[in-house]
């Protein structure tokens, strides 16, 4: 096993863990805005790490270039889409959960 294979496997594993944490965050966080924030950050990082692992596996090739393009697309569109969803929810009247202590309802 080479260092490149080890780094690729580590990046794929870390990306999977990040995506799993994002899924748990969708279930555990109290309101729409915190769920959207958590899912956006964690899933963008998870997808980036998974793509990094796949790029390391692909080596210097056309496939790696295509994975970089997909990564850039995710990097720019995911935060913009989350912002648009949050702004639409606020415009629609969905109020954020405010207060102190363990998430009051």
- 48 — pLDDT class (breaks 50, 70, 90): very high
What's the pLDDT at 96? Answer: 85
Q: What Rg, from alpha-carbon coordinates, does the chain have?
A: 17
How many Å apart are CA 91 and CA 68, to the nearest integer? 35
What's the pLDDT at 5? Answer: 94
Percent share of the chain, pLDDT over 90: 63
- 100 — pLDDT class (breaks 50, 70, 90): low
Sequence-distant (6+) residues with CB within 8 A of 39 are: 22, 25, 26, 82
Sequence-distant (6+) residues with CB within 8 A of 97 are: 30, 31, 33, 34, 103, 104, 105
> How many Cα atoms within 13 Å fall on the side-chain side of residue 102?
1
What's the pLDDT at 63? Answer: 96
What's the pLDDT at 103? Answer: 56
What's the pLDDT at 101? Answer: 54
User: What average pLDDT score do residues 28-36 get?
Assistant: 89
């Amino acid at each position: 096993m080479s260092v490149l294979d080890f780094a690729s496997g580590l990046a794929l594993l870390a990306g999977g863990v990040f995506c799993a944490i994002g899924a748990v965050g969708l279930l555990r966080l109290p309101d729409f805005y915190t769920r959207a924030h958590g899912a956006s950050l964690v899933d963008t990082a998870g997808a980036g790490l998974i793509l990094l692992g796949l790029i390391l596996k692909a080596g210097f090739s056309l496939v790696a270039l295509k994975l970089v393009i997909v990564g850039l697309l995710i990097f720019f569109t995911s935060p913009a889409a989350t912002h648009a969803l949050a702004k639409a929810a606020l415009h629609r009247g969905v109020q954020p959960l405010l207060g102190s202590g363990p998430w009051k309802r």
